[in-house]
Structure 1
Amino acid sequence: MIHISNWADKQKYLQEIINDYLLKNILVFQNIKKVEKIYDLLKLLAFQVGNEISLTELGNQLQISKNTLESYHDVLSNVFIIFKVEGFSKNLRKGVTKSSKWYFHDTGIRNAIIKNLNLLENRNDVGQLWENYLISEHLKKHEYQKISSNNYFWRTYDQQELDWPEEKSEKLFVYEFKWSPNKKIKISTAFKKAYQDANFEVIQRDNSLDFMT
């Protein structure tokens, strides 16, 4: 395991991973002809972490077909750069299920892609990073401990949202992620009524280790 204590060296190391490991080795090995397009895709996904993604919109921005875009997503998922989370709705007809969110397995790689390696106090995307970090580490925990679960996000067409509904052991758990201690969390009344047996929990800095380890 590599240990780097100097902050400038850490930034340099992350950028080398992007340039050498990702762009040269993975993409060339996967026979990607338009490397610049897949790198542009990664940047768009990095800026949209935690937001719903429209493949049609991405395709229009990158000027590539939907089939090509889906193949790029498959490549990036297969080499553990990004992963997809889909919408949840069983009892609520208002639930949005056709869209997806994309997250990065490693937030350092995400930050290096957009060339923003600033410390937390100098960032405006801390909420996005916190959500991505919690989710990726939570899924690693499940993989390591061999915990089987189905994981989603939830949003209605009238913009009610929940970060992380999770089906596990025939039960439904719902998590909201909160970085700022001043942020107020309000669980959707419609969701609580539709899923009365669900367990709700807010994940903050002081209880995040239980969620991740």
Structure 2
Amino acid sequence: MFSGKTILLMGARQVGKTTLLKKLQDKNNLPTLFLNADLPIVRERLTNVGVEDLRTFLGDSKIVIIDEAQRIKNIGLTLKVIHENFPDVQLIATGSSALELANEINEPLTGRKWEFQMFAISWKELVNSSNYFEAFDQLESRLLFGMYPAVLNNKGQEREILNELSSSYLYKDLLSYQGIRKPQIIEKLLTALAFQVGSEVSYNELSRTLEIDKATVENYISLLEKAFVIFRLQAFSRNLRNEINTSRKIYFYDNGIRNAIIDNFNPIGLRTDIGALWENFLISERIKKNQNERVFAKNYFWRNHAQQEIDYIEEGDGKISAFEFKWNPKAKSKFPNSFLETYSPEKTMVVSKENFHEFI
């Protein structure tokens, strides 16, 4: 705050961005203007606005918060005008979609911004809000219902909340985006991806299943990433002949959203997809941990043509770490010698429910 830069807070809808900023507003006790760009009047007033109009609009505010800023046309230019003409004002913009916001602000605000991504509650935050034993007692519920604040705060209403979230609400910005011509395809695509968590995803296969061309599949997946619904892992490779480097896996930022999309909240003991649930949970939580702690690492999986595979690879500061995920602590797991000999990873770890706390 007040370091001479605009602050951008990005993240999916309902992860708590507005709540955080309202608490920030109370804590700072400074004149604050809170603008919700979901309201048409706010969008109208902040589109292509001049300096003098802004001076009247902002008044004596020291903090200006524009919530859901991606809804405002040419928002990047508006943010730049405020930043350059009102140096005493701390400007904060939030976005539940990186679609237009990222495209429009990066150039106008080059060198003028701090950017943060906010996630749903992390495992570490859950532990800190109670204790490890209470959090561990919830582990199976978290694999089923995820970590959204409203889910955690409304026990017994998890399915209703997740069903509402996983409908178009979570990605409603996409539906008004010019690249989405068939909204129903988004839902079918999400369903297909939800069933393939932990498996390699073929754009060609999705194209045939959904009866749309491959380029459209790639475009829609990219848009869902920018709406913070899913994320991709690419295959790790140094171009060795026996490695596969064109593959990708797709995960959901939240287990509850994934389960709502396929409408399956059966208990863990009755599920055939516990491996996928565990893998999705651990990777999404690891990404939260790294981002929240400002750890800069690239994420991959690894597989070769002999069908040997490693679930998760991290590369940072020239060091490689490899992780395998097993829900059952007694399940056997071995890291392929070909990988160990080629890359000499600094760390290898089999992550089970007995030691996952160390990983996330």
- Smaller-chain TM-score bracket: over 0.9
**Quick one: distance in 1 between partners of 2:233 and 2:248?**
6
| Partner residue in 2 for 1:108 | 256
* Contact preservation (8 Å) 2:237, 2:244: yes
Matched, 1:170 2:318: yes
Give the Cα–Cα distance (whole angstroms) in 2 for the partners of residues 67 and 190 of structure 1. Answer: 35
Q: Does 1:180 align with 2:328?
A: yes
Query: Structure 1 residues 20 and 88, CA, compared in 2 at 3 Å: closer, same or farther?
Result: closer
Q: 2:176 aligns with which of 7, 29, 43?
A: 29
Partner of 1:78: 226
Post-superposition offset of 1:10: 0.9
User: How many residues are treated as equivalent by the alignment?
Assistant: 209
Is there any run of 5+ residues in structure 1 with no aligned partner, and where?
A: none
**Alpha-carbon distance between aligned partners in 1 of 2:274 and 2:328, rounded to the nearest angstrom:** 9
Of 55, 77, 89, the residue aligned with 2:203 is: 55
> TM-score with structure 2 length normalisation?
0.56
- What amino acid is the match of 2:200? E
Alignment of 1:1-213 (within 5 A): 1-2=149-150, 3-6=153-156, 9-22=157-170, 25-31=172-178, 32-90=180-238, 92-212=240-360
The farther-off stretch of 186-195 and 96-105 is: 186-195
Distance 1:56 1:184, change over 3 A: same
Distance 1:78 1:171, change over 3 A: same
The 10-residue stretch of structure 1 (11-20 or 150-159) with the greater mean CA deviation from structure 2 = 11-20
CA pair 197-100 structure 1, distance change in 2 beyond 3 A: closer
Instruction: Tell me, in whole angstroms, the C-alpha distance in 2 between the residues paired with 1:197 and 1:91.
Output: 17
Deviation, structure 1 residue 19: 2.5
Distance (Å, rounded) in 1 between the aligned partners of 2:357 and 2:173: 32
Verify the 8 A CA contact 1:85 1:152 in the aligned structure 2.
Answer: yes
Q: Distance in 2 between matches of 1:197 and 1:65?
A: 39
CA contact (8 A) 1:30 1:75 kept: no
Deviations 1:141-167 (A, max 9, x none): 111111111111001111001111111
- Which has the greater radius of gyration? 2
> Which structure has the higher relative contact order (CA within 8 Å, separation 6+)?
1
Structure 1 residue 196: Cα displacement: 2.4
The letter of the residue matching 2:338 is A
| Alignment check: 8 A CA contact 1:92 1:194 kept | no
1: CA distance, partners of 2:251 / 2:217: 16
Structure 2 residue ranges without an equivalent (≥5): 1-148
| Structure 1 pair 20–83 and aligned structure 2 pair: CA distance change class (3 A) | closer
Query: Equivalents in 2 of 1:126, 1:109: separation in Å?
Result: 15
In the TM superposition, residue 20 of structure 1 has moved relative to its aligned partner by 4.8
User: Runs in 1 of length 4+ with deviation above 6 angstroms?
Assistant: none
Contact 2:234-2:245 at 8 Å conserved across structures:
yes
Equivalent residues of 1:14, 1:108 under 8 A apart? yes
Q: What is the alpha-carbon root mean square deviation over aligned residues?
A: 1.5
Shift of 1:204: 1.2
How many Å apart are 1:197 and its aligned residue? 4.3
Of stretches 199-208 and 36-45 in structure 1, the one that deviates more from structure 2 is 199-208
Q: Deviation digits for residues 149-199 of structure 1, max 9, x if unmatched?
A: 111100111100111111122211111111112310011011111122442
